[in-house]
């Protein structure tokens, strides 16, 4: 992507309720090349943080069904909560939230089309192939740009997805460590998590 038209950041503070505790985060929003591509970086910074501390970062692709409605078909909500646990207790950390990468980048409508195929027996990869969309259409160039803009050039990445790490490295971010978030499976997402682990090389 060209980074020519990026606007931002719009900056404010965002108090959130995380597991019953009030946490104050710095919120940075950016707009990419079109109004559809927007990123929210929520940063936790403790006042006594060492200036050289390596920040903990989660790149989280938006999932309306999971993040908002706590769907059990995926593990997005659990991963977001586990990431917030880590970030809100770290001296320096950020959730970089990518709402436009819904459904691994294919959008809400096609994600539900793929779910329909999965209801009839396909796994998460076969379903995408059947409806003619990429298995993973996400890209992290804009996210890497945002990380550089907030001054995070070396990070510990909360992810077990090797594609995220290599995309960041390719775009100038050093990843000193990957720490996968281990979410628990349930009877609705068991197959999805198994497919991510076995067929997409995710360490989860």
Q: Which residues are tagged catalytic?
A: 136, 138
Does 42 bind Zn ion (CB under 5 A)? Our answer is no
- The minimum distance between CB 62 and Zn ion, in angstroms, equals 9
Torsion of CA 89, 90, 93, 95, to 10 degrees: -30
Among 9, 55, 62, 66, binds Zn ion (CB under 5 A): 66
- Stretch in the footprint of Zn ion (CB under 5 A) among 9-17, 65-73, 84-92, 190-198: 65-73
Does 74 bind Zn ion (CB under 5 A)? Our answer is yes
- The minimum distance between CB 10 and Zn ion, in angstroms, equals 26
Nearer to Zn ion (CB atom), residue 59 or residue 173: 59
Which 174-203 positions form the footprint of Zn ion (CB under 5 A)?
Answer: none
Size of residue set near Zn ion by CB under 5 A:
4
Does 63 bind Zn ion (CB under 5 A)? Our answer is yes
Interface positions with Zn ion (CB under 5 A): 63, 66, 74, 76
């Amino acid at each position: 992507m060209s980074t020519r038209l990026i606007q931002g950041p719009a900056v404010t503070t965002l108090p959130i309720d995380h597991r019953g505790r009030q946490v104050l985060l710095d919120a940075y929003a950016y707009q990419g090349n079109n109004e559809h591509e927007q990123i929210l970086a929520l940063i936790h910074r403790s006042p006594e943080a060492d200036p050289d501390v390596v920040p903990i970062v989660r790149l989280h692709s938006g999932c309306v069904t999971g993040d908002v409605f706590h769907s059990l078909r995926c593990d997005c909500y659990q991963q977001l909560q586990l990431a917030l646990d880590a970030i809100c207790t770290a001296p320096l950390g950020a959730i970089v939230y990518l709402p436009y990468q819904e459904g691994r980048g294919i959008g809400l409508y096609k994600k539900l089309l793929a779910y329909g195929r999965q209801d009839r027996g396909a796994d998460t990869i076969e379903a995408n192939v059947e409806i003619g969309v990429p298995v993973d259409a996400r890209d992290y160039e804009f996210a890497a740009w945002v990380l550089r803009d907030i001054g995070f050039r070396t990070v510990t990445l909360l992810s077990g997805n090797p594609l995220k790490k290599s995309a960041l490295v390719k775009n100038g971010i050093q990843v000193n460590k990957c720490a996968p978030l281990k979410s628990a499976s349930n009877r609705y997402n068991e197959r999805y998590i198994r497919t991510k682990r076995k067929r997409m090389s995710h360490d989860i």
